[in-house]
Amino acid sequence: MPQSQAPSPASFAGWLDDTNDITRAFLAAGQIPGLINIAGGLPDPQVYPVDRLSEIAAQSIAEFPNETLGYGTIEGLPDLRAAVAQRYSTETLHLTPENVLITTSGMQALDLIGKVLLNEGDTMAGQFPTYLGALDAWRPRRPQFRNMNLQTNDVDLIGAMTGAKFAYIVPNFSNPTGRLVPEQTRRDLIDAARQTGAWLVEDDPYGGLSYDGPIPPSALELSAEQESSAPGPYQGPVIYLGTLSKMVAPGLRVGWVIAVPEMIAALVTAKQGSDLCTSGLTQRMTCKIFDAGLIEAMNPVMLRLYGERRNALLAAMDRHLTDFFDWQFPEGGMFVWAAAKDERLNTDELFKIGLEELVCVTPSSVFDSQEEFRRGIRLNFTINDADRLEEAVVRLARATERLLARIG
Amino acid sequence: MPQSQAPSPASFAGWLDDTNDITRAFLAAGQIPGLINIAGGLPDPQVYPVDRLSEIAAQSIAEFPNETLGYGTIEGLPDLRAAVAQRYSTETLHLTPENVLITTSGMQALDLIGKVLLNEGDTMAGQFPTYLGALDAWRPRRPQFRNMNLQTNDVDLIGAMTGAKFAYIVPNFSNPTGRLVPEQTRRDLIDAARQTGAWLVEDDPYGGLSYDGPIPPSALELSAEQESSAPGPYQGPVIYLGTLSKMVAPGLRVGWVIAVPEMIAALVTAKQGSDLCTSGLTQRMTCKIFDAGLIEAMNPVMLRLYGERRNALLAAMDRHLTDFFDWQFPEGGMFVWAAAKDERLNTDELFKIGLEELVCVTPSSVFDSQEEFRRGIRLNFTINDADRLEEAVVRLARATERLLARIG
């Protein structure tokens, strides 16, 4: 009988129509047998210190039962807020726990920033191409996006940020490009934030994955150089996002925001209505992970494994893809970003033919709110070994040939 | 130097201005030494099976390292979705994993429902008084609220739900009233949902805390009676929310939504941009908690402890508060809801004087989006023992006398 049916999906909020089809296809692709997936951004499970984390989980509950099993304060465990403040403080950057909010993953931090800063129709500027998760997080707020291409010398930062609520950057090994934003550009971004009154959101999941040596200071740190040297909470325009996901394990879903106390307070109000508090268990585990030096112990293992795989992927690309694509060397992170030489090549189409050839790559459309750039692909090198990376690239070359033959 | 400062809080989104001051005062109250807090909705930590949960955490990681430490699918662990579908299925209610989304707490489910159903200015109907967390979750979507008083016989459900995206109810021991919504009203709500095309959101954190015997079937179950008897996913208008928080431990932050597959798919899109996935660790722990029968083992302990405390609170209220307040007997849950006899008494004021007398109660303003009812208070009986409940009520009586003397 018809009245037993649920209400119509026509009752759904408008932003759900903005999600592109390729995202759905992308999410469903994982199920295909024999597929080599170089689309995701997954750590290799072999790097997880399973026994240590299993012990740490048990100890966290046994030693701190009320804290791990009960409700916690919205802003996070006091010990963890203090630990984050301490880890990031430098001679010029003075952080206190009031500068820190613990979040349920870096993704939640993006969601909370959207809630706190964006009224419907507000403008934001984003490093282009833009991390797809940030676009997902902000879509329900229906902002106007402006793209900033930080790889060129002539980007007009003041123009992009004037009237924008914030600018969003991933300066260390950006997702999807794997490139570093140079120190001078970071300084220019801070100056532009100060001149325009926009916030500067610095998302830094990959800063620890530098395969070729030291990287520039974070915008957070650079912005503090211009602060007064008085101790007390940081007061600058940067909203910095950190996470455990790429450095230890994404399954714990723990991240953090560092910002001025007024911003932290507003984010707390947003978090109160989002999930009330982050799991006390995973927060206490994070304290113990910091204390045990697990991040420092895991890092050389990850750098060796992922660095070799990056080189293996680039070598395979050199062998099979030079006719079809251009790319730049990524100094770190998890990805190589490539652009088709043929401007007519649409990587949404390549993605689909790729699935038929049993290889999954990420097409540029998911990083592009303006539909400006349709011939890019992102290739991941962290989850597959060298042989599988070689095979994935061979399959991708075959798919590209098929698509080019079709274009004519 | 002025340009070193962060952007102005004037850049914050408009909904942040709608948060009432009492909520902030309320959150800060926990810090006062000697305070007896009967405001919250916290389980007593003595009910937590600490050793078992510590073991379960360690085993979860050791046995399922990739699943607990890596990224999971947005909709939740397949085993946990299947387990939830099975737990709630009955002879007439046919649930499949496609009917289930795992959420990072019941609060996240409320947030996701707001994202999926509410455009700015859309209308929703809510059981009045309304759980403050739901109001918090939906405030960023800026909806129009309509109150439904389900304790009266003459509520016009069709009128309230016509043109509304959804109706929100907590039918089992509602927060804040502790009362049951009668079975007939549940049926009327389902009929009204079908007639108006509104969804019916049934939030059920307290259904397991029934101190005086059986309770009516859930709206989810009742709505399935009118379904076709064919197996396959549930297709009715109810969006049911469950959580581990009141039955086992809130610190794990695990909840679930049961609804038609189309609604689950839309919620998945919203969750993708909210936290990507719920912690694999806490999800696998939930599977093990179900399998070990921990909920069933803990329930009698909780019912005995909380049932005795409910009676102790009511007895103390009988001794000290009958001159000032009226209240009804709560059959379950965690709260007694009382209304001042004197209509001029504003419980936001009583809350403040209460803090001076070292007792913290929840004023009705936080459950009231329309500013209709200012003389109610919510008293919790689960976290304090009988002696402290007695002392809290004595302090509350003293605070009430002081306020009444001031009113004149």
pLDDT per residue of chain A (408 residues) written in tens, 0 to 9 = 334 568 877 789 989 887 666 666 766 676 789 999 999 889 999 999 999 999 999 999 999 999 999 999 999 999 999 999 999 999 999 999 999 999 999 999 999 999 999 999 999 999 999 999 999 999 999 999 999 999 887 889 999 999 999 999 999 999 999 999 999 999 999 999 999 999 999 999 999 999 999 999 999 999 998 766 567 899 999 999 999 999 999 999 999 999 999 999 999 999 999 999 999 999 999 999 999 999 999 999 999 999 999 999 999 999 999 999 999 999 999 999 999 999 999 999 999 999 999 999 999 999 998 888 999 999 999 999 999 999 999 999 999 999 999 998
| CATH number for the domain harbouring residue B378 | 3.90.1150.10
| Contact yes or no for B45 and A68 at CB 8 A | no
Name the domain count of chain A.
2
End residue of a domain, out of A253, A280, A295: A295
Q: Which residue of B has its CA nearest to A45?
A: B66
Nearest residue, CB atoms, A69 vs list B53, B55, B223: B53
Nearest residue, CB atoms, A13 vs list B118, B140, B228: B118
- Same structural domain for residues B225 and B350? no
**Are A183 and A216 contacting, i.e. CB atoms less than 8 angstroms apart?**
yes
- Same structural domain for residues B90 and B168? yes
CA distance B345 to A8: 45
**In-domain check, residue B151:** yes
**In-domain check, residue A58:** no
Contacts of B275 in chain A (CB under 8 A): 104-105, 107-108, 111, 253, 275
- Same structural domain for residues B273 and B312? no
Q: Can you give the pLDDT at residue B372?
A: 84
**In-domain check, residue A250:** yes
Distance (Å) from the alpha carbon of B62 to chain A's nearest alpha carbon: 6
Helix (H, G, I), strand (E, B) or coil at A91: coil
Amino acid at B125: A
- Same structural domain for residues B96 and B228? yes
Whole-Å CA distances, A308 to A249, A313, A329, A330, A334: 20, 9, 13, 13, 12
**Structural domain of B188:** 70-292
Contacts of A281 in chain B (CB under 8 A): 57, 251-252, 281-282
Instruction: Reply yes or no: is the peptide bond before residue B237 cis, omega within 30 of 0.
Output: no
Q: Can you give the pLDDT at residue A8?
A: 79
What is the token pair recorded at A120?
């419907």
What is the token pair recorded at A176?
């999807």
Q: Is B394 exposed, middle or buried (0-12, 13-18, 19+ CB in 10 A)?
A: middle
Q: Can you give the pLDDT at residue A230?
A: 67
Residue A210: CB partners within 8 Å, gap ≥ 6? A172, A173, A303, A331, A332
Contacts of B19 in chain A (CB under 8 A): 269
Q: Can you give the pLDDT at residue B225?
A: 83
Cβ neighbours around A329 below 10 Å, total: 11
Beta strands A238-243; A325-327: pairing state: unpaired
Whole-Å CA distances, A370 to A169, A367, B249: 17, 9, 44
Distance (Å) from the alpha carbon of A282 to chain B's nearest alpha carbon: 8
Q: Which DSSP helix (H) or strand (E) runs through B255? A: strand B255-258
> Phi then psi for B260, rounded to 5 degrees?
-60, 150
What is the token pair recorded at A282?
């995973």
**Are A26 and A13 contacting, i.e. CB atoms less than 8 angstroms apart?**
no
Q: Can you give the pLDDT at residue B3?
A: 42
Distance (Å) from the alpha carbon of B298 to chain A's nearest alpha carbon: 14
- Same structural domain for residues B195 and B333? no
**In-domain check, residue B32:** yes
Sheet holding A123-127, edge to edge: A100-103, A255-258, A238-243, A199-203, A166-169, A123-127, A144-148
Q: Which residue of A has its CA nearest to B283?
A: A251
Tokens 């613990």 found at: A102
Nearest residue, CB atoms, A273 vs list B7, B42, B140: B140
**In-domain check, residue A55:** no
Q: Can you give the pLDDT at residue A6?
A: 81
Residue-wise pLDDT for A117-168, tens only, equals 999 999 999 999 999 999 999 999 999 999 999 988 788 999 999 999 999 9
**In-domain check, residue A386:** yes
Tokens 């009266």 found at: B152
Beta strands A362-363; B335-340: pairing state: unpaired
| Contact yes or no for A69 and B249 at CB 8 A | yes
Dihedral, A248, A253, A258, A264 alpha carbons, nearest 10: -170
**Are B74 and A27 contacting, i.e. CB atoms less than 8 angstroms apart?**
yes
What is the token pair recorded at A32?
């295909």
Beta strands A376-380; A362-363: pairing state: antiparallel
**In-domain check, residue B65:** no
| Contact yes or no for B236 and A6 at CB 8 A | yes
| Contact yes or no for A275 and B279 at CB 8 A | no
What is the token pair recorded at B316?
């103390």
Q: Which residue of B has its CA nearest to A43?
A: B70
Q: Which residue of B has its CA nearest to A120?
A: B120
- Same structural domain for residues A282 and A321? no
Distance (Å) from the alpha carbon of B274 to chain A's nearest alpha carbon: 5
- Same structural domain for residues B202 and B329? no
Q: Which residue of B has its CA nearest to A131?
A: B273
**Are B367 and B376 contacting, i.e. CB atoms less than 8 angstroms apart?**
yes
What is the token pair recorded at B150?
């389900």
| Contact yes or no for B13 and A53 at CB 8 A | no
> Phi then psi for A270, rounded to 5 degrees?
-70, -40
- Same structural domain for residues B154 and B266? yes
Contacts of A13 in chain B (CB under 8 A): 115-119, 122, 141
DSSP bridge pairs for A127 = A148
- Same structural domain for residues A159 and A77? yes
Distance (Å) from the alpha carbon of A224 to chain B's nearest alpha carbon: 8
Please state the length of chain B. 408
| Contact yes or no for A61 and B42 at CB 8 A | no
Dihedral sign computed on CA atoms, order B241, B246, B248, B250: positive
- Same structural domain for residues B282 and B152? yes
- Same structural domain for residues A244 and A98? yes
**Are A258 and A88 contacting, i.e. CB atoms less than 8 angstroms apart?**
yes
Interface test with A, best of B54, B108, B334 (most A CBs within 10 A): B54
**Are A337 and A313 contacting, i.e. CB atoms less than 8 angstroms apart?**
no
**In-domain check, residue B49:** no
Distance (Å) from the alpha carbon of A328 to chain B's nearest alpha carbon: 28
Nearest residue, CB atoms, A281 vs list B8, B15, B282: B282
CA distance A270 to A114: 10
Q: Among the residues of A225-363, which ranges form H helices?
A: 261-272, 280-291, 294-320, 347-356
| Contact yes or no for B107 and A6 at CB 8 A | no
| CATH number for the domain harbouring residue B194 | 3.40.640.10
Q: Can you give the pLDDT at residue B18?
A: 79
Dihedral sign computed on CA atoms, order B221, B225, B231, B236: negative
Nearest by Cα to A77 from B251, B333, B20, B208: B251
Q: Is B231 exposed, middle or buried (0-12, 13-18, 19+ CB in 10 A)?
A: exposed
End residue of a domain, out of B242, B260, B292: B292
| List of chain B residues with pLDDT < 50 | 1-3
CA distance B366 to B20: 8
| Contact yes or no for A250 and B71 at CB 8 A | yes
End residue of a domain, out of B260, B292, B324: B292
Helix (H, G, I), strand (E, B) or coil at B244: coil
Nearest residue, CB atoms, B42 vs list A14, A71, A117: A71
CA distance A252 to A285: 9
- Same structural domain for residues A267 and A311? no
